Amino acid sequence: MDRKDISLIERIKVDGHTFHDEHVEPTYINFFFGKNGAGKSTLAEAFEGDRKALIPATGVNLDDYTILVYNQAFIRENFRTYGDLKGVFTLSKENADKREEIDKKIEERKAVTAEEKATAEARDKKNAELNLLLVPLRNTCLAKTSEIRSIFKEPMKKKSKNPNLTDAVLSEKHNPIKHDFATIRALYEIAFDQNAQSYPLFKKSTALTGRYDLSGAALLGKSITSSSDTDFARFMKALNATDWVKNGHASYVVGHSEKKCPFCQQKLPESFERDIAECFDEDYQNDLLALEAFQTAYTSKMRQLLTLLQSNMTQVFPKADTAAYEKLMAQFETAITTNIQLIAEKAASPAKMVELRDTDALITSIDTAIDEINKQIKANNDIVSTKQDKQLECTRMVWELIAFLLKDDVAEYRKNKKEIEEEVGRLDKKVIELQGKYRALSDKITELNAEVINTKATVDSINAHLKDSGFEGFSLREKEGVKGTYEVVRENDKIAENLSEGERNFIAFLYFFHLVQGSQVETDSGKDKIVVIDDPVSSMDSSAMFIVGALVRELIGVCSNNISGRSLRTEGTEYEGKYIQQIFVLTHNAFFHQEITYNMVSHFRYVSFFKINKRNNVSTVEPCIIMPTAVSERPRNYNPVQNSYHALWAEYHKLDAPIPLMNIIRRILEYYFLQLCGYDGEELTNTVLKRIKEKTEGEEDSRLKYHLAQAMLFYIRRSSTINDGQHFVDESIDGAHYKDVFCMIFEVMGQPQHYEMMMRETE
């Protein structure tokens, strides 16, 4: 197993005193070692009070368990006076039938608890599926709204990213409507433009005011000539010089006093002006006047109209499309210029016929273009005049379009979500039913316990432990006339006073030990327990410490009964009961720590070691775990407290180099066989070498093994014989050969179990 088993409390958060947001992840059995002042008591206090620091495993309600903490506060609260110690109620030994019924109910309740936990875990797993269900929908929301989010920033303010985006899509506030993207964009660019303003509408040609006499337009296509019948008139007509004479007269004669011909300089006849006047009849003169009036009126009107239409471009709505308008205006201006020139030519030569360029169609096209531009301007002005309303309208349209784009994805999500929620609801209902069943069983257990309470058994047990430990001169007895109360009394039957700290601490722990087994309440519901023991051997002598260690190992053994597939055995003893679900032991005493952790380090799955450190007035909790290495493919516990002998084995386990490996081997052999087992060095050497020789006889490397064993045993011989090769250390030999021979020494001496045990502990 590469992972720790999780018990009731999955995590402990310590944040106070010298701890700063420190997190501990315990398992079933937990050992904490730290010097005085490192923070052990602070950690133990986390189990008391409002318990906010305790994070339970899924499906676990800590109110269903009794948390018992042994520390100085426990001693103070329970031993203020030695004459009113609250009794510990235990199950009667005599009432076997009643106890069997209680045990059965407790087992039923445990089964209900296990089922509730499994159901809660299944429910939580389904709830986790809901969260996972959101992931693809969130990705889809981002993908399908990418362009919308990049353009319509204001309508999507604070909702353009997840989870707000997906939450808004799922809110059902907007109907899915397929709006035209360009329409929304046009609305957005005005409604959310801080610089948006109203613009004047373009004026059409109909806005031109004034009266213009354009009746002379018909004369443009008529040859205007004189109809006079004088000889001079006929002469001019014959020469087709009517216009020439008229123009020449106007230019060179009228207004000149010399009365000379501008060409020959001859004096003009006295009748010249009369002859000229007779050449041009009245109709001719009227046509000329009408043509002149038309020229003036047309030029004035067209120039005013051009000015009017050009003025539209002085304050233009920037987003209006004026390209067609400007093109038509250029054509219109060219046409007007051409027409004015043609009219001028007609006026100069009335007999000449001219045809003006059509401007009416251009003006109509210009007015049509103006209508289109005014639509855009009016739309802008309407938005600007009701900007706040248009912003709301734009926002609504954006979200309706988003809802349309995602409607199929949302429908699929809601379908799957509904199925999961229905399953979660079913599981939640089952959890509630199981909790009701749990309460009913607890009430029944309380009822049965009330029928079999007995405090005398606790008194007798505590007194027996006091006697066995050598504490004399005081004992416990039930207080006469006061149900459920103990007294600590001296041999003279007087209430004990001034107990030493060691005596007080020892009797307090015995009291706590029995409290773990029973209860201080008559109507106890048989709740399982979480046990916390903080430095229980303070001021105790070695005999009391030994008894406390044995009792703690018993509590650990009870806790181990709840572990499935456990291999834990404490000195081969089986302990009854499963009433301890999780246990925490904290100490600064290295000897006591070694006593209670013996043979524990190898149970990685459900046993954890922690070291409490304090540096710069900051406390931390360090898990004592060796991560996988080339030596071991799995993580392993290590004990932060080791004696020198264990340290030698740990060093042996890591070494491969022959010389340092040989030195460690010699020290282990000397300590174990000579100091612990009491062998004589000479006798041990002779026995080992003889048996190895017999064991390896016929093997190819028998001589090598013999010499290696001889070298290993050299320094533990007690004789002063001359060295006969026992210093043999060959660095070319692989370290594995040395270890094989070392193991063989334990085998031939009948001690293979010790070698295997020490190897397990170092592993």
Distance CA 268, CA 259 (A): 6
Report the pLDDT value the prediction gives residue 741, as an integer from 0 to 100: 92
How sure is the predictor about 603, in pLDDT bands with cuts at 50, 70 and 90? confident
Burial tier of 365 (Cβ tally within 10 Å: 0-12, 13-18, 19+): middle
- Whether 139 shows a pLDDT value over 90: the answer reads yes
Report the pLDDT value the prediction gives residue 725, as an integer from 0 to 100: 41
Range of weakest confidence among 52-56, 362-366, 452-456, 529-533 = 452-456
**For the residues 359-374, what does the mean pLDDT come to?**
93
Rg (CA), the chain: 57
CB proximity list for 60: less than 8 A, separation 6 or greater: 8, 9, 10, 117
> What tokens were used for 236?
């001019």
Distance CA 580, CA 558 (A): 6
Chain segment 181-230, per-residue pLDDT in tens: 999 998 888 888 877 788 899 999 988 887 777 777 888 888 887 665 55
How sure is the predictor about 494, in pLDDT bands with cuts at 50, 70 and 90? confident
Kindly tell me the sign of the dihedral angle through the C-alpha atoms of 190, 196, 200, 202. negative
**For the residues 481-492, what does the mean pLDDT come to?**
74
In this predicted model, which residue has the larger pLDDT, 449 or 432? 432
Q: Map residue 410 onto helix, strand or coil.
A: helix
Distance CA 334, CA 341 (A): 11
- Whether 724 shows a pLDDT value over 50: the answer reads no
How sure is the predictor about 532, in pLDDT bands with cuts at 50, 70 and 90? very high
Cα 24 from chain centroid (whole Å): 21
**How many angstroms separate the Cα of 611 from the Cα of each of 88, 348, 615, 625?**
34, 120, 13, 10
Distance CA 598, CA 612 (A): 20
Report the pLDDT value the prediction gives residue 723, as an integer from 0 to 100: 40
Report the pLDDT value the prediction gives residue 524, as an integer from 0 to 100: 58
Report the pLDDT value the prediction gives residue 651, as an integer from 0 to 100: 79
Residue 271: Cβ within 10 Å count = 10
Residue 147: Cβ within 10 Å count = 9
How sure is the predictor about 498, in pLDDT bands with cuts at 50, 70 and 90? confident
Chain segment 79-115, per-residue pLDDT in tens: 766 666 665 555 444 455 666 787 788 889 889 998 9
Mean pLDDT (the chain) is 82
Q: Report the relative pairing of strands 85-86 and 485-490 from DSSP bridges.
A: antiparallel
- Whether 527 shows a pLDDT value over 50: the answer reads yes
